[in-house]
Each structure stands twice: as C-alpha cells, then as structure tokens.
Amino acid sequence: MRFKEAIDEASDAEFPVACEELIESCSDITFETQHGSVKALGDIASVCKDMPDEFHSELEFRNHLYSLAPDDCIGRKKYDDRGSQHQSYHKSMSI
C-alpha cells in the first residue's frame, strides 16, 4: 500500500474525532515507501509535538499527515511536470 492509500484508509473515520483516537486507529495501517521500507501511519501522525486536540475534517487530517511525511513518501521531490526550470537556472534580469 502507498502513502496516499494508507491515508485514504485512515480517513474513513467520522469527523470530528479526537486526535489521539484517530492516531491509535491508524497505528496498524502500514505503507511502503518508494525505497521499499515499511512504515506505520500512526508513527508518522504522532511525530508532531504541537498536535491539535481533535481533527474537525478529513482534509485537516490529510494536511496534517502530508505535512509530516518523510522525504521517502513524497515521490519525485521538486519534480515539475510542466517543464519549467528552477529560477536559479535563469539569468536574472534587471529592469
């Protein structure tokens, strides 16, 4: 299972839900990173030290998890499918 699929499975909860309750319920949900290691969703969700008391919506929970995702869960980091180059590659132009 991939990271997004694990979040989809964990997001089946009825919101609002207590943060501790949701983290405990997703502690058994595991996913594989792009490097092949297996991680528990609950471990990632519980990393935050300033966690809210409850999640009011699925979107809030998803954003929380995505903000805590390790680099090997992100995919192609800094990938731009539109073909643009990073600004550092362009010569700066003074107007």
1-44 confidence digits (pLDDT tens): 888 898 899 888 889 999 889 888 888 999 998 888 899 988 88
How distant, in Å, are the alpha carbons of 1, 18, 19, 36, 65 from that of 51?
Answer: 26, 11, 8, 28, 11
Q: Which two tokens stand for residue 80?
A: 């731009």
Q: Compute CA 73 distance to the chain's CA centroid, rounded to the nearest angstrom.
A: 8
Q: Compute CA 92 distance to the chain's CA centroid, rounded to the nearest angstrom.
A: 34
Contact call for residues 63 and 22 (beta carbons, < 8 A): no
Whether the link from the prior residue into 16 is cis, omega within 30° of 0, is yes
What is the three-class DSSP state of 31?
strand
Query: What is the per-residue pLDDT across 4-16, written as a single tens digit (0 to 9) for each?
Result: 898 899 888 889 9
54: which strand partners? Answer: 18
Give the pLDDT band (50/70/90) at residue 47: confident
